[in-house]
Amino acid sequence: MSLSFIRSDLLNLDAYTANPQSDQENLIRLDANESPLNLPAELKVKLASLYEQVIATNRYPDGSHWELKNLISDYVNESPQSSTTINHNNISVGNGSDELIRSLLIATCLNENGSILVANPTFSMYAILAKSLGINVTSIPRKEAYFSINLELANQAITSENNPPIKVVFVVHPNSPTANCLTEIEINWLKQLPDNILVVIDEAYYEFSQQTLVSELAQHPNWVILRTFSKAFRLAAHRVGYGIASSEIINVLEKIRLPYNLPTFSQLAAKLALENRALILPAVQELMKEKDRVYQVLSQNKKFKVWQSDANFIYLRLKENPTSERHDQIRQKLQQENILIRQTGGGLRISIGTENENNQLLKQLKSWS
Ligand X SMILES: *Cc1c(COP(=O)(O)O)cnc(C)c1O
Pairing of strands 342-344, 347-351: antiparallel
**Cβ-based nearer residue to ligand X, 261 or 360:** 261
**Cβ-based nearer residue to ligand X, 121 or 165:** 121
Question: Site for ligand X (CB under 6 A): which residue of 241, 243, 345, 353?
Answer: 241
| 178 is an interface residue for ligand X by CB under 6 A | no
Instruction: Return the residues of window 119-158 that contact ligand X according to CB under 6 A.
Output: 123
Alpha-carbon distance values, 35 to 67, 236, 315, 362 (Å): 25, 9, 17, 18
**Cβ-based nearer residue to ligand X, 237 or 283:** 237
CB 341 within 8 A of CB 334: yes
What is the distance between the alpha carbons of residues 181 and 174, in angstroms, rounded to a whole number? 4
| 209 is an interface residue for ligand X by CB under 6 A | no
| 97 is an interface residue for ligand X by CB under 6 A | yes
Stretch that binds ligand X, among 145-153, 228-236, 266-274, 334-342 (CB under 6 A): 228-236
* Residues near ligand X (CB under 6 A), total: 14
Instruction: Return the residues of window 188-207 that contact ligand X according to CB under 6 A.
Output: 202, 204
Question: Site for ligand X (CB under 6 A): which residue of 35, 103, 228, 351?
Answer: 228
Q: Phi first, then psi: give them for residue 94, nearest 5 degrees.
A: -125, 165
**Cβ-based nearer residue to ligand X, 269 or 360:** 269
**Cβ-based nearer residue to ligand X, 131 or 165:** 131
What is the distance between the alpha carbons of residues 175 and 242, in angstroms, rounded to a whole number? 18
**Cβ-based nearer residue to ligand X, 149 or 165:** 149
**Cβ-based nearer residue to ligand X, 92 or 228:** 228
| 90 is an interface residue for ligand X by CB under 6 A | no
Stretch that binds ligand X, among 223-231, 289-297, 320-328, 333-341 (CB under 6 A): 223-231
Question: Site for ligand X (CB under 6 A): which residue of 39, 43, 65, 96?
Answer: 96
Interface ranges with ligand X (CB under 6 A): 33, 96-98, 123, 172, 176, 202, 204, 228, 230-231, 236, 241
